Structure 1
């Protein structure tokens, strides 16, 4: 899609010919993005050509009313010069067809771009994706990698609004939209591990973290959360703080489920299995030490 900055391409509006029986698409007011999509964007940026200032790609997810949930993404080939921008639309559509066969529930919700510069070319690409997501508006997720001097790493989301009596593709305003990171419970431990590795002074050392260390971190985290809950409950009981009914119900449901597990002897059985494994490991180690000493004693 080679388009120059002086192009007079028409900015299409899906509402020009609308079906009264169809519900009016809602403008996104909240965007959530999953870590998998962010990691894919960062991986694309790290693998870019040296001549590329930024990379772009397609965002896939689901819509729920005025909320858009970005679940995955894939890279799209493109090139930019001072005179034109070119996007490989055939590659984009081929990749989407392959992805749609695997995840039929995920649809195109917009596109992503690295860096913080939203220029005329960004408006042209936004116009292309607006046609792909019609009648719903396309979203833009801008990922600032933090490599530019004076720029902090972060994620921003935008939707576009046409400007002028006769809007052109390159004439639009990007309106910010709140964006949040959403992850599943199974992904939290991995994200905590990555965050801890990044903050470590030895993060460049390619050494895997031991399972015991991961378990220790998890136990310390659980212990800290229990201390916070206990402090909150004691403050409410003493009258220092007014209790929140929603928090009370959540604690009751959580602790009630934990109590039921204890009554079913699930914890005891798991503890017995752990003790048995520990006992067998110590037994094997002791036998190995005895064998080594006998070998040394009988050696000539």
Structure 2
């Protein structure tokens, strides 16, 4: 009896990418692209630039938005704009190459496979970065995906997106700016004094938590933790031993310096505004 040929449903070879990491500036840029998008556009897509580290981690360092159109049955990408922007970026940073693409929204959408297919021709195993610019529930959902092909015999059926670990590189100063983006409604960005006030309130909250933890350990309500105790001891030892009146004087001097900077900045803005108006009036006359 002749044996019948079997058709096997199989995935493509597993990708070599281990993880990805993205710098905070990329998230700020993508959020800015989304705010400045055309009125009819529901999302923004663009190119990610960076490099692949020796351990396989994709280091995402730069980005730029690419105009596109998409509907229920087709998508279109401005390839000429993409190539022009890529050439401009590589003149400044020749070591940065295409490592993937980004889109705004929550997770992978319907047209993502077609865009991913285009970037797959630009680079092997591109990373797809999604940024939820709506910040649902005050959380920034940022995910990274790679794609594997699903085929039936010799026929390719679809592309399956698999999430990979993503590390968000962020320093303390960037964390403050990132937290400003999370609320759904922000009237204005805080100035220097307002930002200092928020930071001091947060610092006082942390000090109260430390006080409570130390009291709980002393009273035996909480088991002591050696690493936390060592960290508290090092922190206290690093503080200068100043009398209260000397500390108050230093704080007042620092506050006066801040107020002086705000005053000088206000004068500079006023002078620039007057110069611009005088220049405009001179051109009209």
- Specify the TM-score bucket, using the shorter chain as the normaliser: 0.5 to 0.7
1:143 aligns with one of 131, 141, 158: 131
1:235 aligns with one of 192, 216, 238: 216
Report if aligned partners of 2:18, 2:165 keep a CA contact under 8 Å in 1. Answer: no
Distance 2:94 2:233 in 1: 38
Give 1:236-275 correspondences, 5 Å limit.
236-256=217-237, 258-259=238-239, 262=240, 271-272=249-250, 274-275=252-253
RMSD: 4.1
Distance 1:189 1:145 in 2: 17
Report if aligned partners of 2:134, 2:184 keep a CA contact under 8 Å in 1. Answer: no
Aligned to 1:294: none
Cα distance change, pair 233–54 in 1 and its aligned pair in 2 (3 A): same
Aligned to 1:33: 22
Distance 2:228 2:49 in 1: 34
1:158 aligns with one of 116, 141, 145: 145
Count of residues in Structure 1 that have an aligned counterpart in Structure 2: 242
TM-score, with length taken from structure 1? 0.62
Distance 1:224 1:130 in 2: 49
Query: What is the CA distance between 1:66 and its match in structure 2?
Result: 4.7
1:60 aligns with one of 34, 37, 49: 49
Report if aligned partners of 2:100, 2:127 keep a CA contact under 8 Å in 1. Answer: yes
Aligned to 1:173: 160
Give 1:113-132 correspondences, 5 Å limit.
113-116=103-106, 118=108, 121-132=111-122
Unaligned stretches of 5+ in structure 1? 1-12, 16-23, 282-300
Alignment partner of 1:45 is 2:34: yes
Report if aligned partners of 1:146, 1:154 keep a CA contact under 8 Å in 2. Answer: no
Alignment partner of 1:182 is 2:163: no
Query: What is the CA distance between 1:163 and its match in structure 2?
Result: 0.7
Report if aligned partners of 1:120, 1:171 keep a CA contact under 8 Å in 2. Answer: no
Query: What is the CA distance between 1:123 and its match in structure 2?
Result: 1.6
Alignment partner of 1:214 is 2:195: yes
Unaligned stretches of 5+ in structure 2? 1-11, 260-285
Give 1:273-288 correspondences, 5 Å limit.
274-275=252-253, 278=256
1:93 aligns with one of 83, 95, 104: 83
Cα distance change, pair 38–167 in 1 and its aligned pair in 2 (3 A): farther
Residue by residue, what CA displacement relative to the aligned partner does 1:155-207 show, whole Å, maximum 9, x if unpaired?
33211111114364x72101123445432122233334455xx467xx44x5x
TM-score, with length taken from structure 2? 0.65
Distance 1:83 1:276 in 2: 61
